[in-house]
Amino acid sequence: MQVNPLDQLNDVVIPQSVSWWPLSYPMWGVIVIVLALVASGVWLLYRRQQFLKAKKEAIRLSQSQDNPQILHTLLKRLVKHYYGEVAASRYGKEWLALQAKLTRVELTQQELDSLYAPTQTPELSKKLALAISTFKVKERIDV
């Protein structure tokens, strides 16, 4: 008698599906790392926003001002906030050099002296407003 080879086959048993809970240790590690990265990213973004808050406020104030003396005071306050009192207390050619380095807006000694003249030019107001908006907050000044 001849045996049919198909009769010798066993049924295929499908394994039961594996539950997704509880998570494995590597998966918990991935979750912790992702949460730590997201939290540190949010924290860094918050710190950056706080760091740039003074510059944003100065730009906002400079857009509503036409008085060069007030704009120059805002620029001095920005330098004091980001670079300290020593940098903000510079005057004359030292101040002009520092201001040019931090803003890339060239002011002359005559323009600086005209701040205290009875009449000021509107071009000076525009230059100072541009200097405030292009102020660099991460420049090394002691090199």
Distant-in-sequence contacts of 118-126, Cβ < 8 A, 24+ apart: 120/67, 120/68, 120/69, 121/68, 122/66, 124/68, 125/65, 125/66, 125/67, 125/68, 125/71
Q: Is the pLDDT of residue 27 over 70?
A: yes
Q: In the prediction, which pLDDT does 138 show? A: 83
In a domain, 88, yes or no: yes
Average pLDDT value for residue range 52-70: 93
pLDDT of 75 higher than 90: yes
Q: Identify whether 23 is part of a domain.
A: no
* pTM confidence score: 0.75
User: Is it the case that residue 53 has pLDDT exceeding 60?
Assistant: yes
Residue 66 covered by a domain: yes
Which structural domain, as residue segments, surrounds residue 70? 53-133
Instruction: Assess if residue 116 is contained within a domain.
Output: yes
Whether residue 7 is contained in a domain is answered as no
Residue 143 confidence (pLDDT) above 70: no
- CA 4, CA 15: separation in Å to the nearest integer? 28
Q: Report the number of distinct structural domains present in the chain.
A: 1
User: How do residues 87-117 score in pLDDT, each as one tens digit?
Assistant: 999 999 999 999 999 999 999 999 998 888 8
Is the per-residue pLDDT at 142 higher than 90?
no
Considering the chain, what is the average pLDDT of its residues? 91
- State residue 1's pLDDT score: 67
